[in-house]
Structure 1
Amino acid sequence: MKTQALLASLLLALSPFASAAPECKDTSSYAEARAIIEDLGRIVAPNGIQESYAARIGGIDQWLSVRGQDKNNPILLFVHGGPASPVIPTSWQFQRPIEEYFTVVNWDQRGAGKTYALQDPESYADTIHIDRFADDVVEVAQYLRQRYGKRKIVLMAHSWGTIISMKAALKQPDLFYAYVGIGQAINVRDNERISFDFGLQRAKALGNAEAVKEMEAIMPYPGDQPITRERIIAARKWSQYYGGLTAYRNDSTYFYRGPRLSPEYGDCDRRNVNEGNVFTLGKILPEFVAVDYKPIREFPIPVVFFLGRHDYTTPAEPAEQWLKQVKAPFKQGVWFENSSHMMPWEEPGKTLTSLLQYVRPLAVDPATAAH
């Protein structure tokens, strides 16, 4: 596997977007294809909305993309993974059908994507903490409610985003109709152990001596040693090669190269994603590996988990067990039988139908429901 891909996927489905030239001039040969995708994705419905802009969130400017066919639909805030792996560059691959039923807001978090380039990241380097990210989720939700005249919004998160979004929902549940966790992280050390064991078992079963040698060199994993970037890279390499990131595939090229065709991201933006990865990872890693939501026994709002049957990036088993024991106003686990970690990309049809079946009915105000 390529070193760049390994580095970029060391946490939760990071994206190794292609770097631009050092001077960062947009020279992509994909301009014509981008233009076609952009034209297809234009919101032309009379009551639709399509806008991108910077908003002041958490003391800095942060980038938002808002798209939907009907402003009267509920707002769905999609909190991306990573950390620092924005959804905007690949949202064109799966999002358009969802926009018929929700106004979808994608947000580049502090240190990520377009937000990374809006101001000198060193000016907020000391704010790269899980609590600050969770407070940003709350502030984005409050901003969206005020700007678009909504009482509440739906909070949906993927991978790393589930860590900060669960904390935000616990902090201020009154902002949200429901919480949807995709590739939900509950206990990071449990995830690392399950992921590593899967990769080692597959390598032994398939007689991959190279993989077995590499993985046995860091055993026991994670054990009692610190979970460093280098150990994570070594542990994740083979679990993802054997389909733990995208089911039935030993790579995820569709995702890694998808940003090249993004109507919203140019070459310079992709370079900023890479730089944002590096900027964020070292600062957040100690807090990330200590994450543990297992003690949480009550959740204040409806909760839905999308669980990838083959997910060995954030394995579904701990999330399933947590969901079984938690008390919540409503809870539902939805299994994606042909997905690993990248459910919206792998099974976009099931993503849409699951949102319509389990989540859209929750996004109704009592006064509206009475009519």
Structure 2
Amino acid sequence: MSTSSPSLARDYVLPSLNRLARWLGLTLLRDVVALTVIGAVLLVALLPLSTLVPAPVWIALALAEAALVVVLLRFKWMLPAAGGVFAGSVVVAALAVFASQAYAGTPPITDAQGRPFRNGIATLEKVTLNGSEQWITLRGQDVDNPVLLNLGMGGPGGGGFATRTLFEPLEEHFVVVSWDEPGTGKSYNAVPMEALTPERFVEDAHALTELLRARFDEDKIYVYGTSWTSILGVWLVQQYPELYHAYIGNAQMVNTTENDILGYELALQYVTGRGDTAAAERLRRNGPPPYDGPGMLDKYVAYLDILNDYMDAPRYTLVVPIVPFLAPEYGLIDKVNHTRGLIESFQVVYPQLRDLDFLVQANRLEVPVYFFVGRDDVNAMASLVAEYHNTLQAPHNELIWLEGGHGLNGDNLGHFTDVMVNTILPQTYEK
């Protein structure tokens, strides 16, 4: 027969539970504080690496966060100190984000002595297009040069600022205007995501064209599109040919469904030939495109990343999050919104393109057309672009082969620039 009383057992158990609860609470607090400190440190570290925040500002924030870390270590994670460090790190992180947004801008264009060109322009500006606020950059050594509208990097959902350096060689000869289309980057909140339609993009690009014509006193401008924005570019010059000197298409999309089926079949053949049974099984399980509904994006990325391997290009799962962090035009929130925009816009807009067929729908354009085509491009199939070029009726229709795969890169940028300056400009520009 037991002689221990229930109250004695309870008196023993309750302190143990209290100690356990206290230990768990302190452990959780330390983890939260540690993660907050690490987050603040990373945000501050990004300021000099990927934004135009002035050195005195980010140095002050770095010193403030360093002081908080010293306090934390000095007082050995004591509760009042840990709470103060947590609050201080939250403030530092918030100030870092605020500064990145406030100081977002495009770098100046300078001569060999580091002086801005007297008649040049290098600005990041908010404009109103059909009632919504959107963002553009304007860059050139001379505002009297012809205007080149860069519709963005593709997607749908790719902004116009992340690829700025590709157009720097043209800034001597053009005023290069790059556009963050609605639904991404700095224009992420321009319109509700569900309002994104082909018609919306065309009309916003048209409104931007009219704004640029008026601002620079030009009857016509040039328009450049790549991948998804090459679709937008064709639509734009088809509907408003009188506004453009020429259309320049790179990685031209022609028939999205046929293009995607060809890409899927090549990806399946490629991984099967390499003996990658897991990747082949995944593609077979997904089936051929077009895709829609839940998991749509993952299914496209599954074979597109394989095509990037085929072209010796980085995978989209690596490139998409990194690219916006290279653009000082984006604050830290904008950088995240660029990635969100690519993911969300693609899922809204791309299914609306499945019936696209320019061989039928745009077999005649009333402006000079120049197609830049990567010899190894299997994302926008070079064979389909060549077929479109051979059937398209236009005042001038020229196909220029580039080395490499999908889009512009270091291997073909010099050739692209040379043709733009020494062929397209002399053939098409009249002041």
TM-score (norm 2): 0.71
Unaligned runs of 5+ in 2: 1-37, 55-104
* 2:370 is aligned with 1:353: no
Matched residue, 2:236: 168
Which stretch of the first structure deviates more once superposed, 230-239 or 108-117? 230-239
- 1:31 aligned partner: 48
Cα 1:90–1:105 change in 2 (3 A) is same
Match of 1:249 among 293, 307, 313: 313
CA contact 1:28–1:267 (8 Å) conserved in 2: no
In structure 2, the CA distance between the partners of 1:342 and 1:349, relative to structure 1 (3 Å rule), is same
Q: How does 1:1-371 map to 2 (within 5 A)?
A: 27-29=44-46, 31=48, 41-42=109-110, 44-80=116-152, 81-92=154-165, 94-117=166-189, 119=190, 121-122=191-192, 125-219=193-287, 221-222=288-289, 228-243=296-311, 248-251=312-315, 257-295=322-360, 296-337=362-403, 339-344=404-409, 346-365=411-430, 368=431
Distance 2:413 2:427 in 1: 21
Gaps of 5+ in 1: 1-20
Query: Structure 2: how far apart are the matches of 1:277 and 1:259?
Result: 11
Give the C-alpha shift of residue 286 in structure 1: 2.2
Structure (1 or 2) with the greater helix fraction: 2
Task: Kindly name which structure, 1 or 2, has the bigger radius of gyration based on alpha carbons.
Answer: 2
Q: Give the distance between the partners of 1:39 and 1:131, measured in 2 at CA.
A: 33
RMSD across aligned positions (CA): 2.8
Q: What is the SS of the residue equivalent to 2:163?
A: helix
Secondary structure, counterpart of 2:373 in structure 1: strand
Count of residue pairs the alignment pairs up: 333
Of structures 1 and 2, the one scoring higher in RCO (CA 8 A, sep 6+) is 1
Q: Distance in 1 between matches of 2:313 and 2:151?
A: 25
SS at match of 2:419: helix
Note the C-alpha offset of 1:263: 2.3
**Deviates most, 29-38 or 52-61:** 29-38
CA shift digits 1:274-326 (9 cap, x unpaired): 23234423321321222221103211100001101111221121111011111
The percent identity for this pair of structures is 25
CA contact (8 A) 2:51 2:331 kept: no
User: Could you tell me how far 1:90 is from its partner in structure 2?
Assistant: 3.1
Name the CA distance, whole Å, in 2 between partners of 1:32 and 1:184.
33
Contact 2:106 2:123 in 1 (8 A): no
State TM-score, norm by structure 1. Answer: 0.81
CA distance in 2, matches of 1:52, 1:327: 37
